């Protein structure tokens, strides 16, 4: 028996090759906050289970309050779970990025939708439910009453992140995650966050939970959590902040504290290219940083302006060279087929991305998430409503809106770019000639395709 069951409805497909597969941090934070207030909580992580196994497990718990995290790609699974678990005397709650951005999508199947940060909101919901009180006075929720959608006032962001307990990692299937990552990479890895929010407004990016209000935890608080994670036996940490390197002094402070405590582990993070320099790279490397990822997105400056990235190709190249100079491994992300692109810009992105001294390369289609500028651009020509998180590596690239490019043409561009990347990384005779022949032939084929 437990007071609250929190479900992560991601059911990992066979053959999934994503580098970013970690326990649900959001549910971990909510669970630990509720536990701090005397509430018995369980996290049911669907990553290594089937949907039916999760349903059966939750039904056996007979808990009255069920929270389901709704993220991009799991909308269908979230709705199915809500329908399967709904009883007359229980409360089904939706939360997470998708629920926060489009609460209307979930109002017919959930009793309540949490909008924004969920820790304090969930606690107030539980108290109201137990005391049979109205939800009208709780900030940050939506629900239906007499077939009318009710939206309460917005909830302010948590003012002091140090006041929040660390995620309830004891509720995660840590041994399975460690075993999976060790088998895949040779080391075990999990995630954490040091900051919340992002002050930038990239056209394609959804800031559904924390928004543009950037907040930092203290350096000691961050490194205390690192020590806790290492106590669970993890070798590496993915710092999952939207923009970990935003403030140089903050990053240096965390690195110095890691060095001061002589913590022996490696870590990775995401960075913008315009707030990364040699001083930062050197101290990060010294503190155990093994790899850094840059969201570059395009190899054309005009397309970057359309995306509202506020970076340049020159800045991107400089940051990658800087990272490699100190011995960091580097990954880069690019988007293929953004509104406003043409054959030339796509081929420029493929050529540019394959000119960089990087170790990991990812291309993706533009995915119009509600609440983004991209969504507003294409909402009148959407082809599908949901992105399929359960698809295999090829099928998951789905063109979601009508564009001048066919889906097959964009998939060919992805294939071309990744093939060139693999060719560059191989060491065999006549690579330069083979590469040039492949590049020129596929450039022509791409331009011919419709």
Quick one: DSSP state of residue 27? Answer: H
Q: What is the pLDDT of residue 326?
A: 98
Asked whether 22 and 240 are in contact (CB, 8 A), the reply is yes
**What is the per-residue pLDDT across 47-81, written as a single tens digit (0 to 9) for each?**
999 999 999 999 999 899 999 999 888 899 999 99
Distance separating alpha carbons of residues 32 and 225, to the nearest angstrom = 13
How many whole angstroms separate alpha carbon 12 and alpha carbon 9?
9
Label the pairing between strands 148-151 and 141-145: antiparallel
Give the 3-state secondary structure of residue 328: coil
Mean pLDDT computed over every residue of the chain:
93
β-bridge mates for residue 4, sequence order? 41, 65
pLDDT average, residue stretch 176-190: 95
Domain residue ranges of the chain, discontinuous segments joined by +? 4-151, 173-331
Which residues have C-beta within 8 Å of that of residue 230, sequence separation ≥ 6? 263, 265
Q: What are phi and psi of 73, to 5 degrees?
A: 100, -10
> Quick one: pLDDT band at residue 209, thresholds 50, 70, 90?
confident
pLDDT band at 182 (very low <50, low <70, confident <90, very high): very high
pTM over 0.75: yes
- Matching CATH topology for 4-151 and 173-331? no
pLDDT at 68: 98
Q: What percent of the chain has pLDDT over 70?
A: 94
Read off the pLDDT of residues 227-262 as tens digits, 9 standing for 90 and up: 999 999 999 999 999 999 999 999 999 999 999 999
Q: From 375, 319, 75, 414, select the one nearest 202 (Cα to Cα).
A: 375
Distance CA 415, CA 257 (A): 43
Q: How many CB atoms lie within 10 A of CB 218?
A: 16
Tokens 């991601």 found at:
10
Q: CA 228, 234, 238: angle at the middle one, nearest 5?
A: 90
* Nearest by Cα to 16 from 393, 344, 421: 393
DSSP-derived 3-state class of residue 258: helix
Rounded CA separation 140/48 (Å): 31
Torsion angle of alpha carbons 361, 364, 367, 369, nearest 10°? -20
What mean pLDDT comes out for the span 112-116? 96
Architecture of domain 4-151: 3-Layer(aba) Sandwich (3.40)
Q: What's the topology of domain 173-331? A: TIM Barrel (3.20.20)
């Amino acid at each position: 028996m437990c007071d609250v069951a929190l479900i992560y409805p991601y059911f990992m497909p066979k053959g999934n090759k994503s580098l970013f597969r970690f326990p649900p941090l959001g549910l971990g934070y909510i669970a630990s906050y509720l536990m701090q207030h005397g509430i018995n909580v369980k996290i049911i992580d669907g990553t290594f289970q089937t949907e039916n196994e999760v349903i059966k497990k939750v039904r056996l718990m007979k808990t009255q309050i069920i929270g389901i995290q709704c993220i991009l790609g799991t909308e269908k699974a979230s709705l199915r779970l809500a329908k399967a678990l709904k009883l007359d005397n229980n409360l089904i709650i939706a939360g997470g990025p998708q629920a926060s951005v489009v609460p209307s999508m979930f109002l017919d199947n959930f009793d309540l939708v949490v909008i924004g940060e969920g820790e304090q909101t969930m606690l107030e919901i539980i108290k109201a439910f137990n005391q049979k009180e109205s939800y009208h006075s709780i900030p940050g929720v939506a629900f239906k009453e007499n077939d009318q959608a009710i939206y309460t006032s917005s909830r302010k962001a948590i003012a002091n992140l140090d006041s929040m307990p660390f995620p309830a990692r004891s509720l995660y299937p840590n041994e399975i995650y460690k075993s999976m990552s060790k088998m895949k990479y040779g080391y075990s890895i999990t995630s954490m966050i040091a900051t919340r929010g992002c002050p930038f407004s990239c056209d394609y990016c959804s800031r559904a939970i924390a928004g543009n209000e950037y907040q930092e935890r203290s350096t000691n608080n961050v490194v205390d959590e690192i020590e806790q994670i290492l106590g669970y036996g993890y070798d590496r940490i993915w710092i999952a902040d939207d923009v970990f390197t935003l403030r140089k002094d903050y990053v240096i402070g965390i690195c110095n504290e890691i060095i001061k405590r002589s913590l022996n582990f490696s870590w990775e993070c995401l960075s913008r290219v315009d707030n990364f320099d040699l001083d930062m790279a050197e101290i990060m490397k010294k503190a155990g940083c093994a790899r850094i990822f840059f969201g570059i997105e395009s190899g054309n400056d005009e397309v970057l302006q359309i995306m509202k990235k506020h970076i340049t190709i020159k800045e991107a190249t400089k940051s990658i060279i800087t990272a490699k100079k100190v011995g960091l491994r580097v990954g880069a992300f690019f988007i293929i087929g953004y509104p406003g692109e043409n054959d030339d810009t796509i081929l420029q992105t493929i050529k540019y991305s394959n000119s960089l001294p990087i170790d990991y390369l990812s291309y993706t289609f533009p995915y119009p998430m509600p609440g983004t500028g991209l969504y507003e651009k294409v909402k009148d020509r959407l082809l599908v409503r949901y992105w399929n998180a359960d698809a295999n590596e090829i099928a998951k690239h789905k063109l979601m809106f009508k564009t001048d490019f066919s889906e097959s043409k964009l998939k060919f561009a992805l294939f071309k770019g990744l093939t060139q990347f693999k060719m560059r990384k191989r060491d065999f005779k006549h690579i330069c000639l083979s590469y040039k022949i492949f590049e020129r032939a596929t450039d022509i084929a791409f331009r011919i395709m419709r």
